[in-house]
């Protein structure tokens, strides 16, 4: 009887949602970017573990824009089509620093907890 | 151009046509959802085309790649719903049939209001006159398909429906009873514009609905002060003549709370708390008068429905205050949301 290979479970939906803002802000800190390329970057950073529903990326970007953390502008892409790019704003940098502090706290606490387990 | 080159050029063209067909179909479905604006659709189209190119590189045919890209971007309705949460702060836009049915009922109320206003035989209290003018503004907003009009109508219709049901169950003494038939247009329209689908109303939309309910309760209570004294006076009127003018004091804050909720201002929460407090005082006053001054519950049928509606309005204003505090976007608020 062939041994069944257990597929690793995907990252929980809540965790994916919670990490979306810091990830997007961190990616945009490197420079302006557009939706499709951001998705590629997330895949690459997470080794393919973090999979976003691709159409859902844009509402998240628009929400960050509404919160004045990022801003968008149109520019002609390499295909010749107009493309919407996003870049970080000053408030976005501050929000990213705060997100980073909070995630560091969570990460440190989990690391300690698992070490002592 | 050689035959092979021409052939490859032709197959590329066919491939592009297939991609265009699939993407156009997806775009049509997206545009069918009222929440999306054309810029959003353009952005998603750009994503679809980039993804299709990537998938073609993995060996899929043009049509297969485009279809797989559409699947990865997601169900158009779900994508539209997520966009709506950001772009439309009070919920999705109503379809035209639902808009027109709500507008027809509102128009009926508005015309009735103006007929009373211009009639010399009826003395219209100021809160009723103000509410009639506001109903006209809401009617215009509804026809302009501004998203805040719907929760306002839902809240007002909800109040009218519950108050009518109570009046049917426990009719006050007097020559005019309340016919259950009066419920049909109100409940029918309410059912038609109700947010049956998940996500049709946002948190801000529900806050506005409750705010509207509280405002109508306040307007209803405040209006009783302007009614002429009749002989023999109806119990509700006696109660209100003896009631502290809390509802009159709370009328403006209740109105400001509605405006503030539309502008998503932090102060709206405080205006709503004040409205909740004055409605509560009004309810206690009515109840106290009948219980303490009449010393019996025999009149419960007369005052209980009205007092219950005042308590319900107070509770709605309080919940709306908490919700407003959460959904507020700035201290002063902005008119940007009023135009969506």
| Residues B197-226: tens digit of each pLDDT | 766 888 888 999 999 999 999 998 888 765
**B46 touching A, CB under 8 A?**
yes
Q: Which residue of B has its CA nearest to A84?
A: B43
Of A35, A66, A79, the CB nearest to B47: A35
Check CB contact under 8 Å for B79 and A84: no
Best probe of the B interface among A16, A44, A55, by most B CBs < 10 A, is: A55
Q: What pTM does this model have?
A: 0.67
Inter-chain contacts counted by CB atoms under 8 A, chains A and B: 53
Structural tokens at position B42: 């353009």
Chain-chain contact of A55 with B40 (C-beta, under 8 angstroms): no
pLDDT for the residue numbered A1: 43
How far apart are the C-alpha atoms of B257 and B340, rounded to whole Å? 19
Separation between Cα atoms, residue B256 and residue B274, nearest integer Å:
11
Rounded CA-CA distance B321/B208 in Å is 10
Residue A2 — pLDDT band, cuts 50, 70, 90?
A: very low
Interface pTM, i.e. ipTM: 0.84
Q: Is B74 within 8 Å of A56 when comparing Cβ atoms? A: yes
Find the residue in B nearest to A76 (Cα): B46
Q: What's the pLDDT at B167?
A: 81
pLDDT at B1: 45
Q: A7 burial class (0-12, 13-18, 19+ CB within 10 angstroms)?
A: exposed
B88 in contact with A, Cβ within 8 Å: no
Helix extents (H) in B33-61: 38-57
CB contact under 8 A, A36 and B74: no
Contacts of A59 in chain B (CB under 8 A): 82-83, 85-86
Q: Per residue in B15-52, is it b (16+ CB within 10 Å) or e — as a string?
A: beebbeebbeebbeebeebbbbeeebbbbbbbbbbbbb
Of residues B72, B319, B180, B14, the one with CA closest to residue A39: B72
8 A C-beta contact, residue B99 and residue B121: no
Q: What is the CA radius of gyration of chain A?
A: 17
Span B141-198, pLDDT tens digits:
999 989 899 999 999 999 999 988 888 877 665 555 677 788 888 899 999 989 887 6
The per-residue pLDDT for range A41-95, each reduced to its tens digit, is 998 998 888 878 888 899 999 889 878 899 999 888 777 778 999 999 999 999 9
Pairwise CB contact (< 8 Å): A36 & B85: no
Collapse the DSSP code of A51 into the 3-class scheme (helix H, G, I; strand E, B; otherwise coil) and give the result: coil
Nearest CA in chain A to B35: A59
- Between CA B266 and CA B98, with CA A59 as vertex, the angle to 5 degrees is 75
Cβ–Cβ below 8 Å for A81 and B46: yes
Looking at beta carbons, which residues of chain B come within 8 Å of A55? 44, 47, 73-74, 78-79, 82
Among A54, A62, A82, the residue with its CB nearest the CB of B74 is A54
Interface of B with A in 26-45 (CB under 8 A): 39-40, 42-44
Span A98-115, average pLDDT: 94
Rounded distance between C-alpha atoms, residue B11 and residue B6, angstroms: 9
Task: Give the residue ranges of chain B where pLDDT is below 50.
Answer: 1, 3-4, 231-232, 239
Give the model confidence (pLDDT) of A5-53 as tens digits: 455 567 888 888 899 999 999 999 999 999 999 999 998 998 888 878 8
Chain A touched by B296 (CB under 8 Å)? no
| Res A48: pLDDT | 84
Instruction: Specify the pLDDT at position B201.
Output: 84
C-alpha span between B314 and B167 (Å, rounded): 20
């Amino acid at each position: 009887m062939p041994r069944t290979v257990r597929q690793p479970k995907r990252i929980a939906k809540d965790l994916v949602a919670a990490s979306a803002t810091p990830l997007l802000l961190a990616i945009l800190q490197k420079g302006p970017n557009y939706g499709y390329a951001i998705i590629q970057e997330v895949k690459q950073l997470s080794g393919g573990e973090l999979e976003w529903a691709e159409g859902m990326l844009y509402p998240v970007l628009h929400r960050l824009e509404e919160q004045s953390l990022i801003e968008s502008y149109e520019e002609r892409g390499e295909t010749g089509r107009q493309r919407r790019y996003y870049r970080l704003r000053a408030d976005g940098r501050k929000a990213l620093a705060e997100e980073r502090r909070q995630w560091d706290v969570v990460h440190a606490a989990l690391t300690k907890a698992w070490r002592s387990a | 151009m050689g035959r092979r080159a021409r052939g490859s050029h032709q197959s590329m063209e066919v491939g592009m046509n297939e991609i265009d067909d699939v993407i156009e179909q997806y775009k049509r479905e997206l545009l069918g959802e009222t929440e999306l604006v054309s810029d959003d659709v353009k952005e998603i189209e750009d994503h679809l085309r980039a993804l299709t190119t990537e998938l073609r590189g993995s060996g899929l045919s043009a049509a297969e790649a485009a279809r797989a890209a559409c699947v990865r971007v997601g169900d158009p309705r779900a994508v539209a719903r997520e966009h709506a949460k950001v772009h439309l702060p009070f919920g999705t836009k109503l379809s035209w049939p639902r808009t027109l049915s709500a507008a027809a009922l509102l128009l009926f109320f508005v015309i009735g209001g103006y007929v009373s206003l211009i009639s010399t035989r009826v003395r219209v209290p100021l809160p009723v006159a103000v509410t009639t003018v506001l109903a006209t503004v809401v009617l215009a907003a509804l026809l302009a398909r501004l998203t805040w009009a719907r929760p306002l109508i839902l809240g007002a219709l909800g109040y009218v429906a519950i108050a009518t049901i109570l009046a049917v169950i426990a009719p006050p003494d007097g020559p005019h009873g309340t016919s259950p038939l009066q419920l049909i247009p109100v409940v029918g329209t309410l059912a038609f514009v109700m947010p049956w689908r998940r996500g049709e109303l946002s948190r801000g939309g529900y806050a506005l609905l409750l705010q509207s309910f509280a405002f109508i309760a306040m307007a209803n209570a405040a209006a009783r002060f302007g009614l002429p004294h009749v002989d023999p006076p109806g119990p509700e009127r006696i109660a209100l003549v003896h009631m502290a003018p809390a509802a009159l004091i709370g009328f403006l804050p209740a109105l400001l709370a509605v405006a503030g909720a539309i502008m998503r201002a932090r102060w709206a929460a405080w205006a709503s708390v004040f409205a909740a407090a004055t409605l509560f005082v009004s309810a206690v006053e009515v109840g106290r008068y009948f219980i303490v001054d009449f010393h019996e519950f025999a009149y419960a049928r007369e005052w209980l429905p009205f007092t219950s509606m005042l308590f319900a309005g107070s509770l709605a204003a309080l919940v709306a205050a908490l919700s407003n505090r959460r959904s507020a976007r700035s201290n002063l608020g902005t008119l940007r949301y009023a135009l969506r």
